[in-house]
Structure 1
Amino acid sequence: MAPTCPNYDLEATDPSQFYDGHSITWKRHYIGWGIAGICTFLSTVISFRLLYKHARNYTKPAEQRHIMRIVLMIPIYSFISFLSYRFYKQAIYYETIRDCYEAFVIHSFFMLLLTYLGEDTEVRKSRINAGPERMKLVFPLNCWYYNPQGELFLRMMSYGVLQYVVVKPATTIAAVILEYKGLYCETMYSFAYGKVYITIINFISVTIAMYFLVVFYVTIKSEIQEQKPFLKFLCVKLVIFFCFWQTCLLSLIGHFDVFKATEYWSVNDIEMGINGLLVCVEMVVFAILHVYSFSYIPYISNVTTSVCKSLRDGFNPIDLFREIGWACKDIILIIMGKPLPTRDGHLSGAVKRAQTVRTKARLFRKKRKMEQASLSSSPPDANVDPSTLEAGGRFINRGDQILTADAQRQNVPLLSHVDGASLYEMQELEHANQRARF
């Protein structure tokens, strides 16, 4: 017979108020709400300012889209933890969003490291091949070796991280369903309920993902040293480490009756409250660390971009869905013994196409300058203003307005000056080049 899950959802709630119109009630949970709220506000303001600066100086989307996704982790963690503290009876439902985004962040950091390593598979492999052919795995598997120059190395690293992107949301949704059905039991580690199984699955999955991430970081850290990846890696790993292990530790402490229930607060409520308060305070520290580790200063240029368009491009999850689809297809091909196709990935492919368009544009501008130089050797028509002439002696008209060549160059698509411009912007630039050739 299955044990009875203790009823931690107390019906009685504290009737007192923080301010009753005459004086302030200084109870511990009210003080905790205030601290959690202030810390959430501070970490959110710091992170949103950093997000705005990256969106305003969106000059390298291939890198900055992943940086913005990582930076957004701080406000999400802070706000969800504050809600879990304030509305502790519904905490498991709020934490669904945080847990799903955690998996998204791990994948984004892996893709950021890949982008630092190179823009496509060939460049990445060439940089890895410049290193040793045989390396030791990191602790605790350091008695085995691996070959970073192997054909499947990058794919295996990607699979190890992507599995957590699939497992974590699935187990989180399962936990919500089991909680609704009364089969989860937050307060008891019993194999008769779902919590112990979901905890074990999440532990195995996050351990595999973080281990593969560490192995990949150790392999390429010397190749991407100019990007100073250690602090970035530390920020991502510590946030996930604190949230996961802190929750497990508090739950274990509560299991051994270290926390004592009160009239209005059960042991589980106390666990959630302490965990939410600690996360809110920790996120302020990590928000400050993000300002230095994911600085926007290296991306500053004399051209600013639209914040809305930058955010829309940065948080478009199509690349994640495509990577998951490709990984599933590759696993099927491996099982069937068929060769794997060469894929550069959604983002790196966009970067490659953008570079092709920019190369064509540079060649065209060079040709224009040569034609302009040849025209300058002959006297211009006295009735024509030379500033209104394009290369080849053609007028630059738009409706009834006559634009100079400099003005025309300023009317380029929004993100055409950046690495990895969107497909729409590349098409616009390509069409402009085609019109200029006729």
Structure 2
Amino acid sequence: MAVITVVLQAFGKYRDGDFNVASGYLYATIIYNISVSLSLYALFLFYFATRELLVPYNPVLKFFMVKSVIFLSFWQGMLLAILEKCGAIPQITSADFSVGEGTVAAGYQNFIICIEMFFAAVALRHAFTYKVYMDKRLDSYGRCAPMKSISSSLKETMNPGDMVQDAIHNFSPAYQQYTQQSTLERGGGPPLSRSHSNLSARGGDNEKTLLLSSDDEF
């Protein structure tokens, strides 16, 4: 969407706050709203499916802070665009220069975000406290755990390998059989064959082991 926005601006078909049907801003706003709403819905589904596992990590404040910085700033910008369209944000004119309504609205948005980020930084410090890592400074032998370099950590952050691994895992036939077995057991449906049951049990154990080992790494 960012690339499309740049292309539309280059051809004069995009202007912030312009809800005209001939402008790309209207359609970009609709697509962004659909995307944001689906993302929040998926996030709620993820939380309700995993809240028992995530209780020790206090995820609600973490999720709220990270997503509020993204989503609330987006909706805030859209509200300013609507106010601009309604004429509530006038342009600024003087003898030397003139600033349009869209630029004034963008200035309000930037100023408000600067104020909000101060409070967000304070809240993020409590949501992502360093204290949870204090107990993991020592390894199993009581020695100080080695610190990774910044470049190594950055490389891991930008590496999409975990997403590819998850996609392969979720779409693999073995995992699908495991989820089908779990659904049938919860719903009281007919049991699958013994081989499928054994596969399901192994899949469940592997998943739990993988989850626990991942938690220990973090």
Do both share a fold (TM > 0.5)?
A: yes
State the shift of 1:313 in Å. 4.3
2:41 alignment counterpart? 211
State the shift of 1:221 in Å. 1.8
Residue in structure 1 matching 2:103, options 269, 285, 289: 269
Q: Quick one: distance in 1 between partners of 2:151 and 2:100?
A: 47
1:317 equivalent to 2:159? Answer yes
Secondary structure of 1:190 counterpart: coil
After superposition, the Cα gap between the structure-2 partners of 1:291 and 1:252, relative to the gap in structure 1 and judged at 3 Å, is same
Q: Quick one: distance in 2 between partners of 1:198 and 1:210?
A: 18
Q: Quick one: distance in 2 between partners of 1:325 and 1:191?
A: 38
1:342 equivalent to 2:175? Answer yes
1:84 alignment counterpart? none
Q: Quick one: distance in 2 between partners of 1:313 and 1:197?
A: 35
Aligned CA-pair RMSD:
3.0
Q: Quick one: distance in 2 between partners of 1:326 and 1:184?
A: 39
Aligned length: 173
CA contact (8 A) 2:91 2:101 kept: yes
1:255 equivalent to 2:88? Answer no
State the shift of 1:199 in Å. 0.8
1:287-343 per-residue CA deviation (whole Å, 9 max, x = no partner) reads 11111111122112142403325523442332366269659x95xxxxxxxx74539
After superposition, the Cα gap between the structure-2 partners of 1:324 and 1:226, relative to the gap in structure 1 and judged at 3 Å, is closer
Q: Quick one: distance in 2 between partners of 1:230 and 1:182?
A: 42
Residue in structure 2 matching 1:297, options 117, 131, 136: 131
TM-score (norm 1): 0.36
1:223 equivalent to 2:53? Answer yes
1:238 equivalent to 2:71? Answer no
Matches within 5 A, 1:422-437: none
1:90-145 per-residue CA deviation (whole Å, 9 max, x = no partner) reads xxxxxxxxxxxxxxxxxxxxxxxxxxxxxxxxxxxxxxxxxxxxxxxxxxxxxxxx
1:194 equivalent to 2:28? Answer no
State the shift of 1:178 in Å. 0.5
What residue identity is the alignment partner of 2:153? L
CA contact (8 A) 2:36 2:71 kept: no
Q: 5+ residue gaps in structure 2? A: 139-143, 177-205
Secondary structure of 2:175 counterpart: coil
Q: 5+ residue gaps in structure 1? A: 1-170, 331-338, 356-417, 422-438
1:288 equivalent to 2:118? Answer no
State the shift of 1:247 in Å. 0.6
What residue identity is the alignment partner of 2:175? T
Matches within 5 A, 1:175-194: 175-194=5-24
TM-score (norm 2): 0.68
After superposition, the Cα gap between the structure-2 partners of 1:192 and 1:320, relative to the gap in structure 1 and judged at 3 Å, is farther
1:140-176 per-residue CA deviation (whole Å, 9 max, x = no partner) reads xxxxxxxxxxxxxxxxxxxxxxxxxxxxxxx121111
Query: Based on CA coordinates, which of the two structures has the bigger radius of gyration?
Result: 1
Identity among equivalent pairs (%) = 24
After superposition, the Cα gap between the structure-2 partners of 1:248 and 1:323, relative to the gap in structure 1 and judged at 3 Å, is farther
Matches within 5 A, 1:60-209: 171-209=1-39
Q: Quick one: distance in 2 between partners of 1:254 and 1:237?
A: 25
What residue identity is the alignment partner of 2:19? Y
CA contact (8 A) 2:17 2:82 kept: no
